[in-house]
Amino acid sequence: MGRRFESFRARQTRFMNAKISEISKIGWKFDNTYVHLPDPMLSQLSPVPVKSPKIAVLNETLANQLGLDFSSVSNENLAYVFSGNVLPKGSKSIAQAYAGHQFGHFTILGDGRAILIGEHINKNKKRFDIQFKGSGVTPYSRNGDGRAALGPMLREYIISEAMFYLNIPTTRSLAVVTTGENVIRETSLIGAILTRVASSHLRVGTFQYAATLGDLEILKTLVDYAVDRHYPNLRDEKNKALSLLEAVVQKQTELVINWMRVGFIHGVMNTDNMTISGETIDYGPCAFMDTYDPETVFSSIDHQGRYAYINQPIITKWNLVKFAETLIPLIHDNEKKSIEIAQETINKFDSLYQEGWTNMMRSKIGLFGNDKKDQNLIENLLSWMKKNKTDYTNTFYLLMKEKTKEDKIFENSEFINWYKKWKIRLKKNKQTLESSFNLMKKNNPVVIPRNYKVEEALDFANNNLDLKLVDNLFQVLKKPYTDRSEIKDYQKPPIPNGRTYKTYCGT
């Protein structure tokens, strides 16, 4: 009898308590450290609840790696968790403040539609940021609605996970939920929230923001925090700021070389999209190059080609300069001396990149050791690829499979001459021919997220509320170095249609 006349508030409380009880079975283990940084670096707030959350995609493989168990939790309650309608016990949600150079122009930014709910510790004691993207207005939203659309969230899910399986450091995607609400952009779109997982969300822009505060203690605290979180081996260094700079230079050099290896074009390499950890972050106007052209640009807003494929190492160095500038007060007491030291460190990027890039390209064509003619051999191949507009991924695929006779483009006399020189160089390896091809197989993906295949899957999901094509694509991309018959359709370059493929800052 009492249950019948139970108040609405009491029913809601009982309803939520039941959800919280079930959600506790997931196995979250939060240990939140960022919240202890100085107040100006963050704002504490909760995600804005959504109307009717539903699970769109759930990454069970990543969940297992994080030590999370969804088996005892209903999809309804998982949707409540990954929408932020119910926060797990131990979470402490915040929006981070940061700044950044966007296309070369400095501005104060921050998490305008993202909320970090906490730092989860897995069974191996590794720490991961758990962040909701599209979770509502924050103090840094700058008149935005803080929301996101389904298409861009699925896009980040697909590409970030593809990057992981390509063995490239990246943030990852744990879940996408639809919100039951539409978001208004040019048109009305299905609303969604992505759960992003990262080793942290510390960016060059985080340090830039701290530097604008003019408080040396805050900057020191941030350096100590970054070292503790990502480079604990540097804790006892006398000059932690300089050691941190050197470590980030190394990490970012390795990252951009990996991008170049697979033909990935980030598209928006602003300093706020460059992590201290060396992970790829923010999959907005990114795409993979089909036809080899170093000047390739996909972003609709990159009118000058600032972030073109060929410019990615140049911009990486530019961003590192901006990182170094924030550390000048900590590197040496004498500003002039500090600038000299920082400049010397940054200038190492050129040789680090050139050596790393050359070794990467050697691996792509199966070369062991060094030969003085290697550089010319590599550059001549790329020059031929550009001139003949060959597909970047498939050229190396056909080389390592010794299937160049399958495409008439390789009947070109210039390529035949190059091929003979390559075969002679392979014989100079102090390894077997089989080892050379195995080296190629480790460095050349047989399949990538072809832009038209990604768009096809996203369009189908948006138009039909059906994720069948998204799942099919995702399964293919989980084994990018394994050749198999079922991927043939995903290896095909797009059919030329006279239109230039464009990507947009939608994520």
Looking at the annotation, which residues are catalytic?
A: 272
Q: What is the DSSP letter of 388?
A: H
Q: How far is CA 458 from CA 34, 44, 224, 318, 471, in A?
A: 35, 34, 42, 34, 11
> Within 24-83, where are the H helices?
60-65, 75-83
Would you say 45 and 115 are in contact if contact means Cβ atoms under 8 Å apart?
yes
Q: How many CA atoms lie within 13 A of 468 on its CB side?
A: 5
* Amino acid type, 241: A
Would you say 140 and 95 are in contact if contact means Cβ atoms under 8 Å apart?
yes
Ramachandran region, residue 44 (left: φ > 0; alpha: ψ -120 to 50; beta: rest): beta
Dihedral over alpha carbons 420, 422, 426, 428 (to 10 degrees): 80
Cα 246 to the center of its chain, rounded Å: 22
> How far is the C-alpha of 10 from the C-alpha of 465, rounded, in Å?
35
Dihedral over alpha carbons 268, 271, 276, 279 (to 10 degrees): 0
Indicate the SS3 state at residue 393. helix
> How far is the C-alpha of 249 from the C-alpha of 353, rounded, in Å?
10
Cβ neighbourhood burial of 486 (10 Å; 0-12, 13-18, 19+): exposed
The DSSP bridge partners found for residue 101 are 106
Specify the pairing of strand 127-133 against strand 114-121. antiparallel
Would you say 317 and 349 are in contact if contact means Cβ atoms under 8 Å apart?
yes
> How far is the C-alpha of 200 from the C-alpha of 343, rounded, in Å?
27
> How far is the C-alpha of 224 from the C-alpha of 247, rounded, in Å?
14
> How far is the C-alpha of 305 from the C-alpha of 263, rounded, in Å?
16
> How far is the C-alpha of 366 from the C-alpha of 260, rounded, in Å?
17
Q: Find tokens 């966007």 and name the residue.
A: 102
